[in-house]
């Protein structure tokens, strides 16, 4: 035996017979004569040494072996259809897949809203998202692990071929759990005051460059997490204190779950960037950038 004739055509025939219930009806759907379908099924049964269909009244019904073959075969048909669509998409200048990194500091909800709109327009483009922190965000773009970087903090790497556009301003505040001892001070909190307490720090996700942590308080006890969302939840739970984006915690402030304290070294507002490599000229990336920039301009 030279191998079973498990072609896409054979799988399409099995699928049509199963859906339509008879060889004649399936042949009409596939624009073939019934004898052609019978020949394909017969050859498949002979080379697999199995029976794929049995007659039940006027219907042709799959045997357990036939059900298994078609169930797995439909996965192959779906994959083949996907490859075909992606190839056609690429031929028209649209990437079959766009990889995106967003920095942990930026809120993810606006990003998802833009992606939903993009996918409504271009459902055949795959999206692959990952979360990075600080230097790790830029590293992902520089190393070509992603095509687009959203919410990257300064400084912008001094590397040719990277384009970065400011999309929003980050207002960072000192956040503490409710009723924290620091909230009872009748003056601005100093870094020396904070150093007496545990601070929550987000790990830099960089792997090849020297990692750094923003707003690291010297001499304090540290509780390390891997994302800003984890940092928020750690502070809400009372584990420690730390600097957080005001926009990300406003509802916790409104609900009195977090307090914002005045600090004598209050963090300055800093820009967050949308960045990509200029060599990437795919239509998908161009359209997605336009949606993101329009969204943040209207915020």
> Could you read off the pLDDT of 53-93 as tens digits, one per residue?
998 888 889 999 999 999 999 999 888 887 777 676 666 67
211 pLDDT tier (thresholds 50, 70, 90): very low
Looking at residue 92, its pLDDT comes to: 67
CA 200 to chain centre: 26
Classify strands 172-177 and 258-261 as parallel, antiparallel or unpaired. Answer: antiparallel
Provide CB contacts within 8 A for 155, sequence distance 6+.
Answer: none
What is the predicted pLDDT for the residue at 112? 96
Sorted by where each starts, the structural domains of the chain and their CATH numbers stand as 8-91 (1.10.10.10), 97-168+271-297 (3.40.190.10), 172-268 (3.40.190.290)
Residue 207's pLDDT is: 58
pTM listed for this prediction: 0.65
As a whole number, mean pLDDT of residues 153-179 equals 89
Pairwise CA distance, residues 133 & 152, whole Å: 8
Q: Which of 23-37, 96-110, 191-205, 236-250 has the lowest mean pLDDT?
A: 191-205
DSSP 147-206: SEEEEEPSPPP--TTEEEEEEEEE-EEEEEETT-GGGG-SSPBPHHHHTTS-EEEEPP--
Element (H, E) at 222: strand 222-225
How large is the average pLDDT for residues 157-163?
Answer: 87
What does the pLDDT read at residue 52? Answer: 92
Residue 3's contacts (CB-CB under 8 Å, 6 or more residues apart) are: 47
Tokens of 289: 């950038």
% of the chain beyond a pLDDT of 90: 46
pLDDT (0 to 100) of residue 209:
46
Does 119 sit behind a cis peptide bond, omega within 30 degrees of 0 on the bond before it? no
Of 12, 41, 16, nearest to 29 (Cα)? 16
- Closest Cα partner for 267 from 195, 170, 198, 199? 170
% of the chain beyond a pLDDT of 70:
90
**Cβ–Cβ contacts within 10 Å for residue 55, how many?**
9
How many CB atoms are located within 10 Å of the residue 6 CB?
A: 16
Backbone angles phi, psi at 241, to 5 degrees: -125, 170
Q: What is the dihedral of CA 144, 165, 265, 205, to 10 degrees?
A: -10
């Amino acid at each position: 035996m030279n191998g079973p004739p498990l072609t896409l055509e054979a799988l399409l025939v099995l699928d049509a017979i199963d859906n339509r219930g008879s060889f004649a009806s399936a042949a009409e759907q596939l624009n073939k004569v019934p004898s052609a379908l019978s020949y394909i099924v017969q050859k498949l049964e002979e080379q697999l040494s199995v029976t794929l269909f049995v007659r039940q009244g006027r219907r042709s019904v799959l045997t357990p072996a036939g059900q298994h073959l078609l169930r797995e075969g439909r996965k192959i048909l779906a994959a083949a259809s996907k490859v075909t669509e992606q190839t056609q998409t690429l031929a028209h200048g649209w990437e079959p897949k766009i990889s995106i990194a967003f920095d942990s500091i930026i809120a993810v909800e606006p990003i998802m809203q833009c992606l939903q709109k993009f996918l409504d327009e271009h459902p055949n483009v795959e999206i692959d998202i990952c979360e990075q922190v600080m230097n790790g965000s830029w590293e992902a773009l520089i190393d070509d692990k992603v095509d687009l970087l959203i919410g990257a903090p300064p400084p912008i790497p001094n590397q040719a071929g990277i384009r970065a556009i400011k999309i929003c301003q980050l207002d960072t505040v000192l956040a503490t759990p409710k009723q924290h001892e620091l909230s009872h001070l009748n003056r601005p909190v100093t870094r020396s005051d904070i150093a007496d307490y545990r601070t929550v720090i987000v790990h830099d996700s960089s792997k090849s460059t020297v990692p750094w942590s923003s707003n690291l308080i010297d001499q304090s006890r540290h509780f390390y997490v891997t994302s800003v969302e984890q940092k928020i939840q750690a502070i809400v739970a009372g584990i420690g204190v730390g600097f957080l984006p005001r926009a990300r915690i406003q509802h916790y402030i409104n609900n009195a779950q977090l307090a914002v304290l005045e600090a004598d070294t209050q963090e300055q507002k800093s820009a967050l960037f949308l960045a990509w490599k200029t060599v990437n000229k795919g239509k998908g990336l161009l359209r997605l950038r336009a949606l993101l920039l329009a969204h943040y301009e209207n915020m």
